[in-house]
């Protein structure tokens, strides 16, 4: 019986994880659940899965959750704040941690799980984007097991040879091919993108996701962050990573080898597949996802990304090549810009302009410590807010 902590339990990844766990009660139990402010949803999850601990974002949320759980006769211990998140991620009782908190807020607890030597199921790509080498060093030093949950990175993991040691040349890897749907605006005229609304940007053609990640998909910053994540996960330099537009989202990613072989992982677009794969690895368990019917797929399309349409993808490659804290600057500026767009303070095409301005105006340094990374994160956020304040629509 494996005991699981889910960081970000009320988000789409958290909900999908609980769905998979519920299918295998003989294998898994829930140790802790966390949510930032969705107290009612978290209370319902606690009632069903009976975790020992639950963590929320504030004292007020904790008081409300405690009252709801007491009314249900539950004995779940309620805590709040970053320190509590780190505690439930690193607790001795925990075997595996689903790291699904969106954004920079997920860095500290995900790193705590890695330092504690846990099986880390990584859905929070920002942890690697921001802390890169520091995070990978923590995994190595503690003996943690790091398994990617993003469908693309999970697909690449499945296409690499067993025991792959983050050395692409030694394994005969020629290219790591990240597929991208292209989001909702793949064919929309570029000169009309200024008029895009948050509702339109959040309407992904294939995946059901949260609002922030949906906007990232529309700008293809999500793919840019995945490029940086792939670099750290698989030891691949920028020139060995290629993004391929694949609107059907059936091939989740591929690995091209020096002998001319290309291995691909296919499946229906449902996050329960990579979640189940990582939970049970190296075994396989049922995920609840329907089997892919190849005879019903029709044609599969592929094309190169257009950096004029998707400048955020180019900015991410630039940050990866720059190294140091440049990816942290990129991520921070993007988080601020996306929220400003969702709040209708800026237009859709201003997102990439905010990021470019921050990247140009804030000098990046060495990512020598988490403190240095977080300082750069704060500087980038302040610069982004200043730029938005002077250019708001």
Q: What is the pLDDT of residue 234?
A: 97
- Number of other residues whose CB lies within 10 A of the CB of residue 92: 5
CB-based contacts of 91: which residues, under 8 Å, 6+ apart? 5, 31, 32, 53
Least Cα distance to 17 among 123, 94, 112 occurs for 123
- Known binding-site positions for 1-deoxy-D-xylulose 5-phosphate: 125, 151-152, 181, 204, 217, 222-223, 226
- Measured CA to CA, the distance from residue 76 to residue 53 in angstroms comes to 5
Helices 326-342 and 311-322 cross at an angle (nearest 10°) of 150
Task: Specify the DSSP class assigned to residue 288.
Answer: S
Identify the pLDDT of residue 296: 87
- The confidence score (pLDDT) of residue 208 equals 67
pLDDT digit string, tens, across residues 146-199: 999 999 999 999 999 998 989 999 999 999 999 999 999 999 999 999 999 999
Question: Whole-model pTM?
Answer: 0.92
CA distance 158 to 247: 21
Residue 125: predicted pLDDT: 86
Residue ranges of the annotated binding site for NADPH are: 10-13, 124, 126, 210
Q: pLDDT value at position 211?
A: 87
Given this model, what pLDDT does residue 154 score?
98
Give binding residues as ranges: 10-13, 124-126, 150-152, 181, 204, 210, 217, 222-223, 226
Binding site for Mn(2+), by residue number, is 150, 152, 226
> What pLDDT is recorded for position 204?
76
Strand locations in the chain (E): 2-7, 28-34, 53-56, 77-80, 96-99, 119-122, 145-148, 173-180, 241-245, 251-257, 262-266
- Taking alpha carbons only, the member of 279, 233, 265 closest to residue 100 is 279
Whole-number pLDDT of residue 5: 98
| Average pLDDT per consecutive 10 residues, the chain (393 residues; last block may be shorter) | 97 96 98 97 98 98 97 96 98 98 90 97 91 95 97 97 93 97 92 93 77 92 96 97 95 98 96 97 97 89 95 97 96 96 96 97 93 95 96 71
Which domains are seen in the chain, by residue range?
Answer: 2-148 (3.40.50.720), 156-296 (no CATH), 323-391 (1.10.1740.10)
Please say whether the beta carbons of 50 and 74 come within 8 A.
yes
**E strands of 100-208, at which residues?**
119-122, 145-148, 173-180
pLDDT at residue 393, rounded to an integer:
61
The reported pLDDT for the residue numbered 61 is: 97
């Amino acid at each position: 019986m494996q005991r699981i902590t889910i960081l970000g339990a009320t988000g789409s990844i958290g909900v999908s994880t609980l769905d998979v766990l519920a299918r295998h009660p003989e294998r898994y139990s829930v140790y802790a659940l966390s949510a930032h402010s969705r107290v009612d949803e978290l209370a319902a999850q606690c009632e069903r899965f009976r975790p020992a601990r639950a963590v929320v974002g504030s004292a007020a949320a904790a008081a409300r959750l405690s009252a709801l759980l007491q009314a249900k006769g539950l004995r779940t211990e309620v805590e709040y704040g970053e320190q509590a998140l780190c505690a439930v991620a690193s607790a001795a009782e925990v075997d595996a941690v689903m790291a699904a908190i969106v954004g920079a807020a997920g860095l500290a607890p995900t790193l705590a799980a890695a330092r504690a030597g846990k099986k880390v199921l990584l859905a929070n790509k920002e942890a690697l984007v921001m802390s890169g080498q520091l995070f990978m060093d923590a995994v190595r030093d503690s003996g943690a097991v790091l398994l990617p949950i993003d469908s693309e990175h999970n697909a690449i993991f499945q296409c690499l040879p067993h025991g792959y040691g983050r050395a692409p040349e030694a394994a005969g890897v020629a290219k790591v091919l990240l597929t991208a749907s292209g989001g909702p605006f793949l064919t929309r005229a570029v000169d009309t993108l200024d008029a895009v609304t948050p509702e339109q940007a959040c309407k992904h053609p294939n995946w059901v996701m949260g609002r922030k990640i949906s906007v990232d998909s529309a700008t293809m910053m999500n793919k840019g962050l995945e490029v940086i994540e792939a670099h750290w996960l698989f030891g691949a330099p920028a020139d060995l990573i290629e993004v391929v537009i694949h609107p059907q989202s059936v091939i989740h990613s591929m690995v091209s080898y020096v002998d001319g072989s290309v291995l691909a992982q296919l499946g229906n677009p449902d996050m329960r597949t990579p979640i189940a794969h990582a939970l049970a690895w190296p075994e396989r368990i049922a995920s609840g996802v329907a089997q892919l019917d190849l005879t019903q797929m029709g044609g599969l399309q592929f094309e190169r990304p257009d950096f004029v349409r998707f400048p955020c993808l180019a900015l991410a490659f630039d940050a990866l090549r720059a190294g140091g804290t440049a990816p942290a600057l990129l991520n921070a500026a993007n988080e601020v810009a996306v929220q400003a767009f969702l709040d209708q303070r800026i237009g859709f095409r201003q997102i990439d302009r905010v990021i470019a301005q921050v990247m140009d105006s804030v000098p990046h340094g060495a990512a020598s410590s988490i403190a240095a990374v977080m300082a750069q994160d704060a500087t980038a956020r302040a610069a982004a807010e200043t730029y938005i304040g002077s250019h708001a629509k």
